Amino acid sequence: MKKALVLGGGGFLGSHLADALLLEGQSVRIFERPGIPRYRNFTESEKIEWQEGDFNSQADIEAAVQGCSVVYHLISTTLPKSSNDNPIYDIESNVIGTVRLLEAARRAEVKKIVFISSGGTVYGIPKSVPITEEHSTDPTSSYGITKLAIEKYMSLYHELYGLDYSIIRLANPYGERQKSNAAQGVVAIFLHKAMTEQSIDIWGDGSVVRDYIYISDVIRVISKVTNYSGDVRIFNVGSGTGRSLNTILDTIENILKKPVKRTYKVGRLFDVPENVLDIQLAMKVLDWKPEVSFEEGVKKLYGSLQEL
């Protein structure tokens, strides 16, 4: 039985995906950086391998893809807000690393690669909202440019070698296991700070609007796209609804039943005013739709943080 390889399978999104694959009875290989702890204890009946390595090591990636039929590429070595500080590193570690992966996948006869791209950065400043897949792509960060470059290389390897692929331009996922002390992941960060009565820093006046989608809805669409064999390659995936930072805080206040401390700071240049994805294509082609409301998702996350 061939394996599913989850690159970055020890992280927030990857761990939920790995669990879903294991629940289906699939054989899963998780590839992670050295020193990343296992996110849970696996049972003896679960068909799981945990492989440590360097994404930018040709030998490590070649070993990772051996015997795998599907590869889920969730790795990114940079963040949108810091990628412009060192675009050379961004290119070397993400674009070149992915081309090495594509070469290894081609030689190992991998059947399909699913790449998680960025619906929040590849389009740049929206000319219209909600943003369709046909919207122009004018990123304002190196992060977004490298995501687009990876998308193009995946298309090239399909044309040259027949390597099947799907791209998910993902909005902002949130849910259990999302780190509350990380540099990104607004919902978890805000909720944790509100629970511990810390002041929450807001860049700008809090009117910046983004699209937030609960993790289980993301995993369902990844499953759908894995089994999809049609001609559409790129899908926007989000909730289809925009929420401002202030609205998120209002929701948290309603759940916690107490006010949240807010500190408003000068806005950041790379923050586009509004980013909401049009998800009609995924809904139509993949027969998928988001099922968990924002309020319900935040309550679930709140419950998990209470247990820590």
Residue 114 DSSP label:
E
Q: Report the C-alpha gap between 56 and 174 in whole angstroms.
A: 28
Q: Report the C-alpha gap between 121 and 142 in whole angstroms.
A: 9
Contact 243, 209 (CB under 8 A): yes
Sheet strands side by side (includes 234-237): 48-52, 28-32, 3-7, 68-73, 112-118, 164-170, 234-237
302 is catalytic: no
Q: Report the C-alpha gap between 286 and 280 in whole angstroms.
A: 10
Contact 128, 274 (CB under 8 A): no
> 143, 157, 174, 228: which one is catalytic?
143
Contact 14, 75 (CB under 8 A): no
Ramachandran assignment for 8, one of left (phi > 0), alpha (psi -120 to 50 degrees), beta (any other)? left
Contact 230, 281 (CB under 8 A): no
Contact 278, 240 (CB under 8 A): yes
Q: Which residues are catalytic?
A: 143
